[in-house]
A = this chain, B = another copy of it.
Amino acid sequence: MIQNCYSVIIAGGKGTRFWPLSRSRRPKHLLKILSPKSLLVETAERAFSLGGRNQTLVVTVAEQLGALRRELRALPARNFLAEPQGKNTAPCIGLAALEVVRRNPDALMIVLPADHWVADVKAFQRTLRAACDLAERHDQLITVGIRPDYPETGYGYIVKGKALGAKSGIAAFHAKRFTEKPAIAKARRLMRQGSLWNSGIFVWKAATLLELLARYQPAIARGLDAIGKAVTGKSLNNLKLRSVIAKEYREMPSISIDYAVLEPAGSEGRVLTLEADFGWSDVGSWAAVHRMMHKDSEGNAGNGRWLGLGAKNCLVHAPDRLVVLLGLENAVVVDTPDALLVGDLNRSQEVRELVEELKKKGYGAYTVR
C-alpha cells in the first residue's frame, strides 16, 4: 500500500464504440469484455491495491452515478463524486483534487481512467509506486508513458526529454512535448524516436495540481474555489453543494487536462514521464479488444460458445448463444439480446458513426439501453 495517496478513477465516458454491447445507459467502463468483471471494477481493484479502498474516489457524471454505485458497492458512497455535466478531464480532475486536498492537504493523487485494460497488474503496481515516489520527491507532474507496440494514430504521444535515471527497472524522463493523435507517418516517426503513448494515468500532489490550474486555467480555478468555499459537510456529494457545483460547472470551459495543464507545465519543465510496459490498452475499439485477448492458432478469440471453421483473426463476443464462423477473416461478431453486430474488425473504429446512423435510420431505441 502506498502511504498518503488517493486514487481518482475518472468514469464519465459514454462508449458508443462498443455498440451493441455499449449503449448510452451502459457505458464502456461498465462492460465485461476482457474479463468477467467490468472495466470499472477491474480499475477499482487495481486502485484499492495502491492507496486502499477508503482512499479511492470515483468521479462520474450525475446520470451515471446510480449505475456506478450499484456496480461498485465495495466503495463507500462518500467516495463517489458526480459532475453535473461532462466538461472533459480538466474540471473533473480539478474537482477530485479539491476533495483530496480537503481530506489531506499533503496527499498525492493518482488519476486512473476507468475504462482501460491492464494485463500485468504487478508491473502496473511497480510503475505506480515509482510514480508516487517521484511525485513525492520532485513535486512534479508525473505522466505514465507506454512503450508503443505499433504506430497507433488514435493515441496521444509523449516525446521524452532528458533522462532522470531508472528505479526498479522503470526509466524516468523529462516530458519534452505532448502530441495529440498523429497521422500515420508521424506516428511511425514518433515510435522510431522512442516516444511513448500517453496513457492518461497521472500522479501528482493534489495541491500542486490546484496551484497549476490556478496559474494556467483561472476560469476553472475560480469555479473550484467557489465550490471549495461552499463545502460544509464531509463530502462533496451532498444536495446543497450540488446546486453550487452545477452553477460553477456551467461557466467552466470544457478542456482536457493535457491541454489545460500538462502542455504548459511541460514547457516549463514541470512534467516527468515514466516509461512503462504493463500490457496497457485504452480498449478503444473491438480491434483493440481483439489485440488484448488470448487467441487460437488461427488468430480467433471469443467470449462464450463459438466455433471457427476456416475462420481467421475473428472476434466473437456472444455470452448467450452458440456462434459458428464459417470461412471468415477479420470479422467481429457481437451478440446481445436485441441486436447483433457483424463487421469487419479493421473497421471497428467506425462503430461510433454507426451509432449515429442507427439514430438517423429510426433505430435510436437500440442505442439507449
18 A-B pairs besides A321-B339, A324-B354, A328-B344 with CB distance below 8 A are A321-B337, A322-B338, A322-B340, A322-B363, A322-B366, A324-B340, A324-B341, A324-B358, A325-B343, A326-B344, A326-B347, A326-B351, A328-B342, A331-B331, A331-B342, A333-B340, A333-B342, A335-B340
- With an 8 A cutoff between CB atoms, is A309 at the interface? yes
What is the bound-complex CA distance between A341 and B337, given in angstroms? 16
What is the bound-complex CA distance between A366 and B350, given in angstroms? 33
9 closest cross-chain pairs (CB), A and B: A326-B343, A327-B344, A327-B347, A322-B339, A323-B340, A324-B341, A333-B342, A342-B342, A322-B366
User: 14 A-B pairs, CB-CB below 8 angstroms?
Assistant: A307-B358, A309-B357, A310-B344, A310-B347, A321-B337, A322-B366, A324-B339, A325-B343, A326-B341, A326-B342, A327-B343, A328-B331, A328-B343, A331-B342
Q: Which residue of B has the minimal Cβ distance to A340?
A: B323
Q: Is the CB of B340 within 8 A of A309?
A: no
Q: Which residue of B has the minimal Cβ distance to A350?
A: B326
Interface band, chain A? 35 or more
- With an 8 A cutoff between CB atoms, is A34 at the interface? no
A residues whose Cβ falls under 8 Å from a Cβ of B: 20, 305, 307, 309-310, 318, 321-328, 331, 333, 335, 337-344, 346-348, 350-351, 354, 357-358, 361, 363, 366
State how many copies of this chain the complex holds. 2
Q: Is the CB of B343 within 8 A of A318?
A: no
What is the bound-complex CA distance between A323 and B19, given in angstroms? 12
Point out the residues of chain B lying under 8 angstroms from A318, CB to CB.
340
Q: Is the CB of A324 within 8 A of B309?
A: no
Query: Which of A321, A338, A351 is packed against the most chain B CB atoms within 10 Å?
Result: A321
Point out the residues of chain B lying under 8 angstroms from A363, CB to CB.
305, 307, 322
What is the bound-complex CA distance between A344 and B325, given in angstroms? 8
What is the bound-complex CA distance between A83 and B357, given in angstroms? 53
Q: Would you give the shortest CB distance from A264 to chain B, in whole angstroms? A: 40
Q: Which residue of B has the minimal Cβ distance to A19?
A: B324
